[in-house]
Chain A
């Protein structure tokens, strides 16, 4: 049951001072004057039942830029997720990207009896442990690479790179053959029931296998396990780490050294890894450890990093495209050959912008951080390409 009072208290929305700083920094509001975070709140709080649904709630990117700027850290994106849940309960129809393929996949993955066949890509030389104490959570990369094959994205390369890095530093891990999507996109689009179904099957599997620690390469999985699964019964028992948190300290202590790459690169902070999980330095430490790599910062970086223009696979239009073009232009402005990111979704969205643009969109290469780091590993034969 949707309870607006609970949403209000959970998100501290009454602390909103009406100052409008959220709107100033909101990437959507910059391109679409109809979209105004503050007014969405106001409209909903003064709503009577005859008011029509607020259509602009679907435009929010959940980039958390507004929370970053808000003096009271009002959880505006989470309030929006609540409004979306309310709209869905009232029968709103989602405008899904890719014809709803990702939503359908997530719902199908929530079936308990499902026995996926999702590890065919796993290279034979990757060493896995017998036990499941520590697992590497692959995420949806095997599915993304098929759904978005026309964009020529290869998010599995990032996963493969992550596994090679972990093998190199001898961090033991195993992989679950039947892991499901973490459910973050369903949560963001307001499908709380769908999210809970996925969380339930995942958590049951973690418990059955005796998982104590999860390492992920996808920032979305990382944050979902850490923040959202933790709110569910029994959800706090597992330690969650992002790959960069595991690798960066080993580089600093000298236990791992990376190879060489004569390029200029810039790091694109994924919103979820940066503003949500507060991981800003570790990815930069990894890039700094690649010899010859000239690392430059874009106009907006770290806490102020611009979103890739993503949505949880709903409502992607001209405004999103403008945000993406703006981000790619920022990378071009600093003369980067490679835009490095650690989120498969950022990769997909920016790539989509390059692919479907009119040819004037900057062609900067987009690479996964783990892939780039693993590629630079210097001992012959082990580098992947």
Chain B
């Protein structure tokens, strides 16, 4: 991937989400350099404001990476993030940026190859879309 590729922000939950990224790193798997990981204590910490802020700062896509249902460290599972995810998707649609720029993934602990596959596919999809922020002259 070229260096100028638009950034993808991954909000990774500190528990299962982050272990997937660490597992990928330990296994020497590579994923697009445009990915920026933001570690959060739980996906329920992420709300529409943070997601939109990432886009405001120039992200072309945002991935929310959390635990499989039933695995949440704090027992809140998708209770909070599901609503915020839905709101953010509707707002992205209104803005005309496209709701596809936001994805929610629940992954099993330490699934490095699974993460790499998901994030690479996402990066490819974003690349094929119109740029969210046109390159500045």
Instruction: Let me know if A96 and B49 touch, CB within 8 A.
Output: yes
**Tally of A-B residue pairs with Cβ under 8 A?**
59
Instruction: Let me know if B95 and A98 touch, CB within 8 A.
Output: no
Interface string of B78-115 (1 = CB under 8 A from A): 00000100010011011111000000000000000000
Cβ of B60 to closest chain A Cβ, rounded Å: 13
Instruction: Let me know if A100 and B53 touch, CB within 8 A.
Output: yes
Interface pairs (8), CB distance under 8 Å = A98-B49, A101-B91, A113-B134, A117-B94, A118-B96, A143-B91, A146-B87, A146-B90
Chain B, range 46-75, C-beta contacts under 8 Å to A: 47-50, 52-53, 55-56
Instruction: Let me know if A105 and B91 touch, CB within 8 A.
Output: yes
Which partner residue on chain A sits nearest B89 by CB separation?
A: A146
- Quick one: given A99-B48, A147-B48, A150-B83, are A117 and B93 in contact (CB under 8 Å)? yes
- Chain A residues lying within 8 Å of B93, measured Cβ to Cβ, are 117
Q: How large is the interface on B (under 10, 10 to 19, 20 to 34, 35 or more residues)?
A: 10 to 19
Instruction: Let me know if B87 and A107 touch, CB within 8 A.
Output: no
Cβ of A311 to closest chain B Cβ, rounded Å: 15
Chain A, range 118-154, C-beta contacts under 8 Å to B: 118, 142-143, 146-147, 149-150
Q: Given A101-B48, A114-B96, A117-B95, list of 11 further CB < 8 A pairs?
A: A98-B49, A101-B49, A104-B52, A107-B56, A108-B52, A115-B96, A117-B96, A146-B87, A146-B91, A146-B94, A147-B91
Q: Which residues of B contact A (CB under 8 A)?
A: 47-50, 52-53, 55-56, 83, 87, 90-91, 93-97, 133-134
State the majority secondary structure of interface residues on A: helix
Instruction: Let me know if B91 and A100 touch, CB within 8 A.
Output: no
- Chain A residues lying within 8 Å of B52, measured Cβ to Cβ, are 100-101, 104-105, 108
- Chain B residues lying within 8 Å of A105, measured Cβ to Cβ, are 52, 91, 95
> CA separation between A146 and B52, bound complex, in Å?
13
State the majority secondary structure of interface residues on B: helix
Q: Which of A108, A146, A147 contacts B56 (CB 8 A)?
A: A108
Among B48, B50, B90, the most chain A Cβ lie within 10 Å of the Cβ of B48
> CA separation between A104 and B51, bound complex, in Å?
9
- Count A interface residues, CB 8 Å: 23
- Chain B residues lying within 8 Å of A109, measured Cβ to Cβ, are 95
- Chain B residues lying within 8 Å of A33, measured Cβ to Cβ, are none
- Quick one: given A108-B56, A149-B87, are A101 and B47 in contact (CB under 8 Å)? yes
Instruction: Let me know if A104 and B56 touch, CB within 8 A.
Output: yes
Q: Which of B47, B55, B90, B96 contacts A116 (CB 8 A)?
A: B96
Instruction: Let me know if B133 and A111 touch, CB within 8 A.
Output: yes
- Chain A residues lying within 8 Å of B55, measured Cβ to Cβ, are 104, 108
Instruction: Let me know if B53 and A142 touch, CB within 8 A.
Output: no
Instruction: Let me know if A98 and B48 touch, CB within 8 A.
Output: yes
- Chain A residues lying within 8 Å of B134, measured Cβ to Cβ, are 113
> CA separation between A143 and B90, bound complex, in Å?
9
Q: Which of B50, B96, B97 contacts A99 (CB 8 A)?
A: B50
- Chain B residues lying within 8 Å of A107, measured Cβ to Cβ, are 56
- Quick one: given A104-B55, A104-B56, A147-B87, are A99 and B94 in contact (CB under 8 Å)? no
> CA separation between A111 and B56, bound complex, in Å?
10
Cβ of A87 to closest chain B Cβ, rounded Å: 20
Instruction: Let me know if B49 and A143 touch, CB within 8 A.
Output: no
- Chain A residues lying within 8 Å of B94, measured Cβ to Cβ, are 116-118, 142-143, 146
Cβ of A317 to closest chain B Cβ, rounded Å: 17
> CA separation between A107 and B133, bound complex, in Å?
13
